Chain A
Amino acid sequence: MAEQQIKGYQAGTFVIGNRLLDPEERSVQARMDRSNTLTSGHRACRGCGEALGARYALDAAMRASGGRMIAANATGCLEVFSTPFPESSWRLPWVHSLFGNAPAVAAGMAAAMKAKGREDVRVVGQAGDGGTVDIGFACLSGMFERNDDVLFICYDNQGYMNTGVQRSGATPPAARTANTKPVGAEPGNVFGQGKDVPAIAMAHGIPYVATATVAEPRDLEAKVERAMGMRGARYIHAFVPCPLGWGSASEDTILLARLAKETGLFPVFEAEHGEVTAVSPIRRRQPVTEYLQRQKRFAHLFAPTENSEVIERIQAGADRNIARFGLLAGAEGP
């Protein structure tokens, strides 16, 4: 029998099964003692990327902090589906104040811990893309600039999903939302200049900035663990597909998150003090159409006729990311 070459991934998933790993190397999610920080029973949609992302990130942060952690949450899906009072899915001390102030609330919590001599208690702030890149942006920038001891996590699902799928500053070009419908001369969201918040975070020179997707939980966990090992302002921008808002199949959440990375549309990297220190290379490069075609929000690009001009502009954006971050180093052919 010919020797079979083992690739580091199973067909179509790229994920190494946990059972092949030494117990110490297994993901936090694979451990019996994970904290289930966002526990079951909440009201997120089937296939919600944000619920997954929050669970991965916070369980890793809880593990890193030895369970000594408190969280501030912005208004949004994550807040609404987790806390329909008197129910709560949070198994850590958690406060929700407003939509636009989670970074400032978290900064106040960190100041309180410092004043009380309880710096062993770590502070995490979290919001969706609306609460981070739009309405919470001033508070986020202030928190960065002061280098407050907060890990802030943005779960980016590229729109205001909680209010009925409206466009945010993180919505990609051409995407259909409730207020960027595929009507008129330029169907879908306009091609703006973009709002690259990870890059803006890096421009503040804060100790740590990273991007990650829910397709690679071990990578997300490792970045959270790394961030929790540092002090000062840290930022993780997690890409979390939204089946409801994107018009994608709920079982495709992980696939879409992976395709966002493998097409180059969402570069996955780490940076310290404003300099990129590591990138996650593309393993099998995919054309953006592979990603776009699986989402109804881009359906107008393919029917009734294919809008190749817009698709090429989107591809060009992915190509720019690939060149800028050197994402093809070590890529395998399809």
Chain B
Amino acid sequence: MLEQLEGSQAVARTVAACRPEVISAYPISPQTHIVEALSDLVRTGDLDPCEYMMVESEFAAMSACIGASAAGARAYTATASQGLLYMAEALYNASGLGLPIVMTLANRAIGAPINIWNDHSDSMSQRDSGWIQLYAETNQEAADLHVQAFRLAEEISLPVMVCMDGFILTHAFERVDLPTQDAVDSFLPAYEPRQVLDPAEPVTIGAMVGPEAFTEVRYLMHAKQLQALDAIPAIASEFEDSFGRSSGGLLRGYRIDDAETVVVALGSVLGTIEDAVDELREQGVKAGALGIKCFRPWPLEDVRDALAGAQRVVVIEKAFAVGAGGIVGQNVRLALDGLGIRVHDVVAGLGGRPITKRSLRSLFEDVFADRLEPGVLHFLDLDREVVERELERIRSHARPGPHAENIVRELGIVAARPH
């Protein structure tokens, strides 16, 4: 049913249609609207049977999901940013125990400096936690991915993180075709846990494993993630058959077939990138875009196939490995190993900085003029003057003070400046 609604409401109502039995969450912007709406649905009895646990921290939120899932309940939570880091220990535990918990991550920057706006620092920091990571481009896709996420998690017995850009998607009003209850019910069977805490058949879950078997247990986690590379497209295809629209999958190419320059990105920025690609095409430039829908497991072969015909790849990512470089970029290079394709790493949109078409246009001009040194991490729209002055301050002052405050003082009141 088509509705004009906020992304968070679309996700909440779709999650409700997936009939979670335990929801456990702690408030953090920009995830709050999702769990508030679910709390309403539990209170009114519209989502029944379901227990909504108002826990005291994200660590407890994930821990309660672990307990609920181990006890055989379909469990859901949502978080962002610092909250994801606070549950980090429990994230590894959930995946290690093979518990099919589904979580919405309203992507947000990580401090310090504290920043509530969107980037991908949070999800990227947990890319190796053993969770499957799916990235939504639109609110329609965010909603649809949750239906697929429960199915996927329970099919392969691994937790799934649905990443959607905080504010940009969570707080945006868009037209969404909400999956109906009947359609979800026929797509998503009732949860049949692989192992469960049941007095009729006592099991020990979470025992200690020593050097004699730990490698094999970890290998199996890897193998299960690789299995997901087959399960994800299969589920996406079945979803398309059932719901009549394409959502999810591993990758989505845009005007990529004959593209010489391909821009790789994740999440909501793909819309702007596709517009920029259209403009380049109008100018006769053979450009295309590749959206990464699933970052973990990393669809190495698919990425290699999709990019094999390109001469140049520009990876635009909303996070980076401090002191090392791009994160998605490293993964793309791994996929392109030996093909001799030039890969540029560009960090953009950190802490909510808008990635505008104008900025992308000037980035592409630099790329085509070979002004972008490959192998060096580039920062889109970086204010070099401000950075240089701060670096100078460090060199010349014994106690230069905190960077964040110095720079904000220099910039003045941002709202007063023209964007």
Residues of A within 8 A of B (CB): 67-70, 72-73, 79-80, 83-86, 88, 90-98, 100-101, 104-117, 121, 138-139, 141-142, 145-146, 148
A136 to chain B, nearest CB (A): 10
Determine which of B22, B53, B63, B199 lies in contact with A97 in the assembled complex, contact meaning CB atoms within 8 Å: B63
Q: How far is A97 from B72 in the complex, measured between Cα atoms in Å?
A: 15
CB atoms of B199 and A70 under 8 A apart: yes
Instruction: Tell whether B307 is near chain A: CB-to-CB under 8 Å.
Output: no
Query: Known interface pairs A104-B55, A115-B21, A115-B73. Does A68 touch B60 (Cβ–Cβ under 8 Å)?
Result: no
CB atoms of B202 and A91 under 8 A apart: yes
Q: How far is A308 from B6 in the complex, measured between Cα atoms in Å?
A: 70
Task: Find chain A residues with CB under 8 A from B32 CB.
Answer: none
CB atoms of A101 and B90 under 8 A apart: yes
A47 to chain B, nearest CB (A): 22
Query: Known interface pairs A95-B70, A111-B73, A142-B56. Does A105 touch B202 (Cβ–Cβ under 8 Å)?
Result: no
Determine which of B199, B203, B204 lies in contact with A68 in the assembled complex, contact meaning CB atoms within 8 Å: B199
Closest A residue by C-beta to B96: A97
Task: Find chain B residues with CB under 8 A from A91 CB.
Answer: 202
Closest A residue by C-beta to B61: A104
A75 to chain B, nearest CB (A): 9
CB atoms of A108 and B64 under 8 A apart: yes
Query: Known interface pairs A104-B55, A104-B67. Does A115 touch B22 (Cβ–Cβ under 8 Å)?
Result: yes
B65 to chain A, nearest CB (A): 6
Interfacial residues of chain B within 63-118, with CB under 8 A of chain A in the complex: 63-73, 75, 89-90, 93, 97
A257 to chain B, nearest CB (A): 28
CB atoms of A92 and B208 under 8 A apart: no
Q: How far is A142 from B25 in the complex, measured between Cα atoms in Å?
A: 13
CB atoms of A108 and B49 under 8 A apart: no
Report whether over half of chain B's contact residues are helix, strand or loop; otherwise say mixed.
Answer: mixed
CB atoms of B53 and A108 under 8 A apart: yes
B315 to chain A, nearest CB (A): 35
Task: Find chain A residues with CB under 8 A from B93 CB.
Answer: 97-98
Interfacial residues of chain B within 179-215, with CB under 8 A of chain A in the complex: 196-199, 201-210, 213
A16 to chain B, nearest CB (A): 33
A139 to chain B, nearest CB (A): 5
B211 to chain A, nearest CB (A): 12
Task: Find chain A residues with CB under 8 A from B21 CB.
Answer: 112, 115-116
Closest A residue by C-beta to B26: A142
Known contacts A85-B213, A95-B70, A108-B67, then 8 further A-B pairs from the complex at CB < 8 Å, ordered by chain A residue: A91-B202, A95-B204, A108-B22, A108-B53, A112-B22, A114-B49, A139-B59, A142-B55
CB atoms of B60 and A79 under 8 A apart: no
A132 to chain B, nearest CB (A): 15
Interface centre among A79, A113, A142 (most CB of B within 10 A): A142
CB atoms of A104 and B73 under 8 A apart: no
Q: How far is A25 from B186 in the complex, measured between Cα atoms in Å?
A: 55
Q: How far is A229 from B64 in the complex, measured between Cα atoms in Å?
A: 24
Determine which of A95, A107, A115 lies in contact with B50 in the assembled complex, contact meaning CB atoms within 8 Å: A115
Determine which of A70, A96, A112, A146 lies in contact with B206 in the assembled complex, contact meaning CB atoms within 8 Å: A96
Q: How far is A148 from B97 in the complex, measured between Cα atoms in Å?
A: 24
B76 to chain A, nearest CB (A): 12
A10 to chain B, nearest CB (A): 37
CB atoms of B53 and A93 under 8 A apart: no
Determine which of B51, B63, B97, B201 lies in contact with A115 in the assembled complex, contact meaning CB atoms within 8 Å: B51
Q: How far is A69 from B197 in the complex, measured between Cα atoms in Å?
A: 9
Q: How far is A94 from B22 in the complex, measured between Cα atoms in Å?
A: 19
Closest A residue by C-beta to B97: A97
B77 to chain A, nearest CB (A): 10
25 A-B contacts, Cβ less than 8 Å apart? A83-B204, A83-B206, A83-B208, A85-B208, A88-B207, A92-B202, A93-B196, A93-B201, A93-B202, A93-B205, A94-B202, A97-B67, A98-B90, A100-B59, A100-B89, A105-B66, A107-B64, A108-B69, A115-B68, A116-B49, A138-B56, A139-B63, A142-B57, A146-B54, A146-B55
